[in-house]
Amino acid sequence: MPKSESVPGEMLATYDAVVALTDKVCHEHLNEEYATLCRQLAAALARKRPSPIARGKPEVWACAIAYTIGRVNFLSDKTQTPHMRMDDLCRLFGVSPSTGSAKSQLIWKMFDLMQMDPRWCLPSMMDENPMVWMLSVNGFLMDIRYAPRGAQEEAFRQGLIPYIPADRPRKG
């Protein structure tokens, strides 16, 4: 399930401008996981044909990217670490909350996203994200963490899960 940060040559300058902004905000106010996912989402947008980030201000796209990753991962939920209100996130980019939200909605639709989307989940939240582990097996929805190891290995081999749960050290 690794995501690429590669971008077409003609989009490199735009990508670099957007990522410089997301990296700054993420490193100062969020964490490296957010920074990485923002870079990957910016790259995915840069690879789209035509690329939506080719037009508009880098600040707006950077804000929309961080907003989108934050929305997928419940950034505004006070029980999460880190957490931040979405309007405060927009202000860090110098973008109005309505603009940040609108552009994020465009990204949301473009990639058919949902909250807890396994494709854009913070690695630290993977263990607790049921969307990562729910698979249809012979027409039945099941949590693959409770399946026999052979089934887990096959799901991993097919790229359906990020790792074999039994191989991951338990927290606490």
Record the pTM: 0.87
- What is the rounded CA–CA span in Å between residue 103 and residue 96? 11
Please report, for the chain, the start and end positions of each structural domain, with discontinuous segments joined by +. 9-117, 129-167
Burial of residue 42 (CB within 10 Å: 0-12, 13-18, 19+) is buried
Fold classification of 9-117 is Cyclin A; domain 1 (1.10.472)
Q: Collect all residues with Cβ–Cβ distance below 8 Å to 154 and sequence separation of at least 6.
A: none
Closest CA to 67 of 28, 41, 32: 41
Give residue-wise pLDDT tens across range 80-96.
999 999 999 999 999 99
Give residue-wise pLDDT tens across range 26-61.
999 999 999 999 999 999 999 999 999 999 999 999
